């Protein structure tokens, strides 16, 4: 081992033996991060014990601790990478330094300089010339800088081993797990039924069912978690490093299945193959159906603004896109993650859910209705000191009332848009805002417009005519079209743009404005 390259460290079967032995010795489940810490410490100890002496001895860089002879070539990285040849060696004289030598080194420019050699104690003996700003033999430094990356590699290795099992972020040998009597699982089911869907920690369940704890409580909890994980009645819903249990049948409906207005008719994807990517501009609309918005930015944020579209307003959800992904909790194994929302103004809390596979967050319907949130409303999502609590903050509007486009349905499910004055509780996007009264009729209207035989182009034309009634030029901004068509059916921004480009009945004025082509133009 001549180097410690933590940036491209490899994890192999030899390391797996180390992890397995650690788990057996401690008899305690561990996370990949804990194992990464042990791996780093182990490799640094081995490096210092055997590798460092070899590196110092054979290194071509100048080390005061090395012994040199006439004719040896030496490189001096701190002196511009200069290289020289040892001309002579003499005994050094300095009682304070002990026994050492002085070498004379000749350089290509004809100059000669003297350097110490055989000097046992000197900072350059262990100086990292290749990475002078990094202390690659300091376990704390290495773990802080490379721990997560190494942990991910360890997790990948552990997942390939059938002898190890995982609960949440914790791993343990299957052979050492204790058996759980099915009767205790029935009692656990009864406890969760009494909680009416409120998630519980394993320890809370064990306490209520009076489960016998042995001398290793962590292993007891892990074994019970494993038994619950393999029972289809239970759902694990905790974020990373937290195990929480609910009964699957008692999870909210919007957790168990995708809300009606978030469902997407994939028949529309046929339009994707018919447009040139270069023709689609950047569209600043938050929509989880846009794949490029599902890439989490490297930089985390403490706060993020959200503009709610009609589909999410109706469902009481919000899209898990962009920087929002770094604010909301995630999980290693479960698809549904529970947490708490907190209203910044009132301090009230209520349960929310992250649905990772579908990229949405649900549980907001009562808050939307209580706070006068409408499609197009903008509010803030804030991180808190408690990772299990997400804060909701209304943004004060410029006035208590404003003129907003309203969506109306008549008895025959014919829709219309009328601009009228309404109370406003938070900031809103003028192009995206639509005032609508929530009613069961909205569901039947949605279902009627989302049948397979529904013609999306015809629907867009109807939306155009309604939006342009008070607009003599008939020119409509793309965001207005998106907000309006998504009152009828789910159409993501880029796909909608592609449809607008393709249809001859629709004319593009510039990148973001469109109009219906009149009969003469057609």
**Least reliable range by pLDDT among 3-12, 66-75, 441-450, 496-505:** 3-12
Report pLDDT for 470: 79
Indicate if the pLDDT at residue 8 is higher than 70: yes
Look at domain 260-394 and name its CATH class: mainly beta
The burial of 147, by beta-carbon neighbours within 10 Å (0-12 exposed, 13-18 middle, 19 or more buried), is given as: buried
Taking a C-beta distance cutoff of 8 angstroms, is the pair 377, 277 a contact? Answer: no
For the segment 145-149, the average pLDDT, to the nearest whole number, is 89
Q: How confident is the model at residue 336 (pLDDT cuts 50, 70, 90)?
A: very high
Percentages (nearest 5) of helix, strand, coil residues in the chain: 35, 20, 40
**Sign of the dihedral defined by the CA atoms of residues 368, 372, 374, 380, in that order:** negative
Indicate if the pLDDT at residue 133 is higher than 70: no
The burial of 486, by beta-carbon neighbours within 10 Å (0-12 exposed, 13-18 middle, 19 or more buried), is given as: buried
Report pLDDT for 2: 47
Report pLDDT for 285: 95
- Can you point out the beta strands (E) in 118-261? 164-167, 170-173, 200-201, 234-236, 244-247
pLDDT in tens, 46-86: 877 765 544 444 467 888 888 899 999 998 888 877 899 99
CA distance 350 to 262: 22
Q: Are strands 389-394 and 336-343 parallel, antiparallel or unpaired?
A: parallel
Taking a C-beta distance cutoff of 8 angstroms, is the pair 393, 382 a contact? Answer: yes
Residues 260, 229, 390: CA angle, nearest 5 degrees: 55
Report pLDDT for 300: 81
Please state the domain extents for the chain.
6-58+131-161, 73-125, 177-251, 260-394, 409-418+436-516
Report pLDDT for 241: 80
Taking a C-beta distance cutoff of 8 angstroms, is the pair 199, 238 a contact? Answer: yes
Q: Which residues contact 4 (CB under 8 A, 6 or more apart)?
A: 43, 44, 47, 136, 137
- CATH, domain 177-251, list 3.40.190.10, 3.30.1380.10, 1.10.10.10, 3.30.70.270: 1.10.10.10
């Amino acid at each position: 081992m001549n180097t410690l390259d933590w940036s491209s460290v490899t994890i192999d079967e030899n390391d797996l033996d180390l992890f397995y032995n650690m788990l057996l010795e401690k008899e305690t489940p561990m996370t990949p991060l804990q194992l990464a810490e042990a791996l780093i410490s182990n490799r640094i100890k081995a490096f210092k014990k055997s590798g460092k002496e070899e590196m110092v001895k054979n290194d071509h860089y100048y080390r005061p601790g090395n012994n040199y002879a006439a004719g040896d070539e030496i490189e001096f990285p701190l002196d511009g990478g200069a290289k020289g040849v040892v001309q002579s060696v003499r005994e050094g004289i300095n009682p304070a330094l002990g026994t050492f030598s002085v070498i004379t080194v000749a350089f290509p420019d004809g100059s000669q300089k003297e350097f110490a050699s055989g000097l046992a104690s000197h900072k350059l003996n262990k100086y990292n010339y290749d990475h002078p700003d990094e202390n690659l033999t300091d376990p704390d430094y290495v773990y802080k800088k490379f721990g997560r990356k190494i942990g991910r590699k360890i997790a990948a290795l552990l997942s390939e081993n059938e002898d190890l099992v995982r609960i949440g972020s914790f791993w343990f040998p299957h052979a050492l797990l204790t058996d759980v009597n099915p009767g205790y699982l029935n009692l656990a089911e009864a406890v969760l039924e009494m909680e009416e869907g409120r998630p519980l920690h394993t320890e809370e369940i064990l306490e209520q069912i009076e489960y016998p704890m042995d001398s290793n409580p962590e292993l007891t909890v892990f074994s019970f978690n494993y038994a619950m994980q393999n029972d289809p009645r239970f759902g694990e819903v905790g974020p990373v490093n937290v195990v929480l249990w609910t009964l699957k049948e008692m999870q909210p409906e919007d957790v168990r299945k995708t809300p009606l207005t978030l469902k997407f008719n994939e028949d529309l994807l046929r339009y994707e193959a018919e447009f040139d990517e270069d023709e689609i501009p950047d569209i600043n609309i938050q929509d989880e159906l846009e794949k490029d918005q599902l890439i989490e930015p490297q930089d985390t944020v403490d706060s993020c603004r959200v503009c709610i579209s009609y589909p999410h307003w109706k469902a009481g959800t919000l899209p898990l896109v962009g920087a929002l992904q770094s604010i909301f909790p995630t999980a290693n194994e479960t698809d549904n993650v529970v947490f708490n929302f907190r209203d910044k103004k009132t301090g009230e809390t209520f349960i929310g859910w992250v649905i990772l596979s579908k990229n949405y967050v649900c549980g907001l319907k009562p808050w939307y209705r209580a706070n006068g949130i409408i499609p197009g409303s903008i509010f803030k999502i804030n991180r808190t000191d408690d990772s299990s609590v997400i804060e909701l903050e209304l943004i004060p509007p410029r006035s208590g009332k404003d003129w907003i486009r309203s969506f109306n349905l008549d008895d025959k499910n014919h829709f219309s848009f009328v601009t009228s004055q309404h109370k406003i509780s938070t900031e809103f996007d003028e192009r995206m805002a639509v005032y609508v009264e929530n009613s069961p009729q909205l569901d039947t209207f949605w279902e009627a417009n989302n049948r397979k035989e529904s013609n999306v182009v015809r629907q867009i034309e109807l939306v155009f005519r309604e939006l342009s009634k008070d607009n003599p030029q008939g020119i409509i901004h793309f965001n207005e079209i998106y907000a309006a068509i998504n009152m009828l059916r789910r159409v993501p921004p880029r796909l909608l743009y592609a449809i607008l480009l393709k249809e001859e009945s629709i004319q593009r004025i510039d990148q973001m404005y469109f109009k219906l082509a009149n009969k003469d133009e057609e």
